[in-house]
């Protein structure tokens, strides 16, 4: 979502005549769009601010945006005196005003969560450099998992309107986008009304987006197990443009830990859900998020997390060491886990995840599939495209083929990407 927010800020400032600096070193303004989810991300922001001052002592105007800005507010400019602007994730449509105010002594701070939505104040989407785009359809979270800052930094769940989403999708597609990834902290909690006033969930939105002819692929992330409706599961079996990939974080494979996390789903419930999704779309690739070392997690409870990785057989996963976040209930819980224990558990978890990822990729060798060519590869003449299951495929193809959907034969697989050969037929 920070990528999306960054693009929107750039588009908004572009409308006011600003352009991207060719070289970051001679920028007049630098916006650090930040993440607060783990402590490491916060530390990085402060070290980046320090690096902004040039050898001759000059520096650009510095804005800190995003969730660190929201959580720390004016504290940021006290800790880092060179910061001129602090703007939260729900207030960045006011950046032009803040820029005008900045540089007059005190930092300009805006961490309001205004009733008016920023989306209404942002300009229409401009032509995108790539054939894939993100589109935020909802923001915020009402679930309050005990480890997580998101409900405090992004605010309560808010769904954008049906019409606004469709307009933005059409503008992206008119600008050449072939694949849209719908975004939200709990994207599948999206609710709204269609243009006839009928109540709709995200499945209805997906079905409507699928009617846009030139849009070829639809994805969404991140979804929450509790918001995985029957309609959305059915859509995976019925809507061809909805890609067979589901990122469905479980966090832990142990019920006591899930309860302490306030996840409000059990291991059994999660596994049943996966069965139903697979019944609707047997080839679906699954992805997840895991936290190791939540306060009080025993070795046996951690072993349950290794078990669920094997039980599901994920195509890929994100895994994190628990990071205590100020103001969240878990930060004050007894039984905080020592760093070396967390390190060890993370290594073992990642080994299990990698085993499945390697197996999933290897199973595609010899298959013919369709990829959307997204960008140049590392070597001249090489492009990178994605399979329906979100794997990166390297192929030999000319630059002008970016944006094409082509059939490839997968000839080899590594842990993180595949190699493909272009088939003779061009896909629809």
Q: Can you give the binding site for ligand SAH, defined by CB under 6 A?
A: 37-38, 141, 147-148, 150, 185-186, 222, 224, 249, 251, 289, 291, 320, 322-323, 325
Cβ–Cβ under 8 Å, residues 1 and 141: no
Give the one entry of ligand SAH, ligand SF4, none that residue 38 binds, where binding means its C-beta sits below a cut-off of 5 to 8 angstroms depending on kind.
ligand SAH
Give the one entry of ligand SAH, ligand SF4, none that residue 320 binds, where binding means its C-beta sits below a cut-off of 5 to 8 angstroms depending on kind.
ligand SAH
Known binding residues for [4Fe-4S] cluster are: 141, 145, 148
Of 187, 158, 119, 152, give the one whose Cα is nearest residue 36: 152
Give the one entry of ligand SF4, ligand SAH, none that residue 245 binds, where binding means its C-beta sits below a cut-off of 5 to 8 angstroms depending on kind.
none
For the CB of residue 147, give the shortest distance to ligand SAH in the complex, in Å: 4
- Per the DSSP assignment, residues forming a β-bridge with 371 are 406
Q: Does 36 bind ligand SF4 (CB under 6 A)?
A: no
Give the one entry of ligand SAH, ligand SF4, none that residue 37 binds, where binding means its C-beta sits below a cut-off of 5 to 8 angstroms depending on kind.
ligand SAH
For the CB of residue 258, give the shortest distance to ligand SAH in the complex, in Å: 11
Kindly report each contact of residues 403-407 with a partner whose C-beta sits within 8 Å and lies 24 or more positions away, as own/partner. 403/131, 403/176, 403/178, 403/372, 403/373, 404/372, 404/373, 405/178, 405/216, 405/370, 405/371, 405/372, 405/373, 406/370, 406/371, 406/373, 407/368, 407/369, 407/370
Binder among 137, 145, 308, 393 for ligand SF4 (CB under 6 A): 145
For the CB of residue 67, give the shortest distance to ligand SAH in the complex, in Å: 11
Q: What is the 3-state secondary structure of 187-233?
A: HHHCEEECCCCCEEEHHHHHHHHCCCCCCCEEEEECCCHHHCCHHHH
Q: How many residues bind ligand SF4 (CB under 6 A)?
A: 10
Query: E strands, 57-193, where?
Result: 61-66, 85-87, 108-110, 132-136, 138-139, 158-159, 179-183, 191-193
* Contacts (CB under 6 A) with ligand SF4, residues 115-144: 141, 143-144
Cβ–Cβ under 8 Å, residues 392 and 361: no
* Contacts (CB under 6 A) with ligand SF4, residues 167-186: 185-186
For the CB of residue 223, give the shortest distance to ligand SAH in the complex, in Å: 7
Give the one entry of ligand SF4, ligand SAH, none that residue 66 binds, where binding means its C-beta sits below a cut-off of 5 to 8 angstroms depending on kind.
none
| Cβ distance to ligand SF4 smaller for residue 144 or 318 | 144
- Helix (H) / strand (E) element for 408: namely strand 405-413
SS3 139: strand
DSSP count for the chain of H helices, then E strands: 14, 19
Of 390, 389, 382, 388, give the one whose Cα is nearest residue 419: 382
For the CB of residue 89, give the shortest distance to ligand SF4 in the complex, in Å: 13
Give the one entry of ligand SF4, ligand SAH, none that residue 323 binds, where binding means its C-beta sits below a cut-off of 5 to 8 angstroms depending on kind.
ligand SAH
DSSP state of 380: T
Distance of CA 384 to the CA centre of its chain: 20
| Cβ distance to ligand SF4 smaller for residue 165 or 187 | 187
For the CB of residue 20, give the shortest distance to ligand SAH in the complex, in Å: 28
| Cβ distance to ligand SAH smaller for residue 60 or 249 | 249
For the CB of residue 70, give the shortest distance to ligand SAH in the complex, in Å: 15
Binder among 94, 125, 219, 224 for ligand SF4 (CB under 6 A): 224
Give the one entry of ligand SF4, ligand SAH, none that residue 322 binds, where binding means its C-beta sits below a cut-off of 5 to 8 angstroms depending on kind.
ligand SAH
SS3 279: helix
Q: Which stretch binds ligand SF4 (CB under 6 A): 45-53, 146-154, 199-207, 362-370?
A: 146-154
DSSP state of 129: S
* Contacts (CB under 6 A) with ligand SF4, residues 148-167: 148, 150-151
| Cβ distance to ligand SAH smaller for residue 305 or 387 | 305
Give buried/exposed letters for 372-409 (b at 16+ CB in 10 A, else e).
bbbeebeeeeebbbbbbbbbbbbbebeeeebbbbbbbe
For the CB of residue 392, give the shortest distance to ligand SAH in the complex, in Å: 21
**Cα→Cα distances 15→9, 171, 270, Å:** 10, 16, 45
**Footprint on this chain of ligand SF4 (rule: CB under 6 A):** 141, 143-145, 148, 150-151, 185-186, 224
């Amino acid at each position: 979502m920070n990528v999306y927010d960054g693009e929107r800020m750039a588009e908004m400032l572009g409308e006011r005549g600003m352009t991207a600096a060719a070289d970051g070193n001679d920028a007049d303004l630098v916006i650090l769009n930040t993440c607060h989810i783990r402590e490491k991300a916060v530390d990085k922001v402060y070290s980046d601010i320090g690096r902004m001052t040039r050898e001759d002592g000059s520096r650009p105007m510095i804005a800190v945006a995003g969730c660190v800005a929201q959580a720390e507010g004016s504290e940021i400019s006290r800790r880092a005196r060179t910061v001129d602007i602090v703007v939260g994730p729900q207030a960045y449509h006011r950046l032009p005003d803040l820029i005008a105010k900045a540089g007059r002594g005190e930092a300009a701070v805006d961490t309001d969560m205004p009733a008016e939505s920023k989306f209404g104040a942002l300009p229409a989407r401009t032509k995108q450099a790539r054939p894939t785009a993100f589109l935020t359809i909802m923001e915020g979270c009402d679930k309050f998992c005990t480890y997580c800052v998101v409900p405090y930094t992004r605010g309560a769940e808010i769904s954008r309107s049906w019409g606004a989403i469709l307009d933005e999708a059409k503008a992206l597609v008119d600008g050449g986008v072939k694949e849209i990834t719908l975004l939200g902290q709990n994207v599948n909690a999206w609710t709204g009304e269609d243009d006839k006033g009928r109540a709709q969930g995200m499945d209805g939105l997906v079905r409507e987006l699928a009617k846009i002819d030139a849009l070829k692929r639809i994805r969404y992330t991140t979804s929450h197990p509790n918001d995985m409706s029957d309609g959305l599961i059915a859509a995976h079996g019925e809507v061809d443009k909805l890609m067979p990939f589901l990122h469905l974080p479980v966090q832990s494979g142990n019920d006591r830990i899930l309860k302490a996390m306030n996840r409000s789903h059990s291991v059994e419930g999660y596994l049943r859900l996966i069965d139903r999704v697979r019944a609707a779309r047997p080839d679906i690739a699954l992805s997840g998020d895991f936290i190791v070392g939540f306060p009080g997690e025993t070795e046996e409870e951690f072993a349950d997390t290794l078990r669920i990785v094997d039980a599901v057989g994920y195509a890929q996963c994100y895994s994190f060491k628990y990071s205590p976040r100020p103001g969240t209930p878990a930060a004050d819980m007894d039984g905080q886990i020592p760093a070396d224990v967390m390190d060890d558990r993370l290594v073992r978890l990642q080994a299990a995840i990698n085993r499945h990822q390697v197996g999933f990729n290897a199973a595609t060798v010899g298959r013919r599939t369709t990829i959307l060519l997204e960008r140049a590869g590392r070597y001249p003449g090489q492009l990178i495209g994605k399979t329906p299951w979100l794997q990166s495929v390297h192929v030999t193809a000319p630059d002008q083929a970016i944006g094409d959907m082509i059939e490839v034969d997968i000839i080899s697989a590594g842990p993180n990407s595949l190699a493909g050969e272009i088939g003779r037929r061009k896909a629809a």
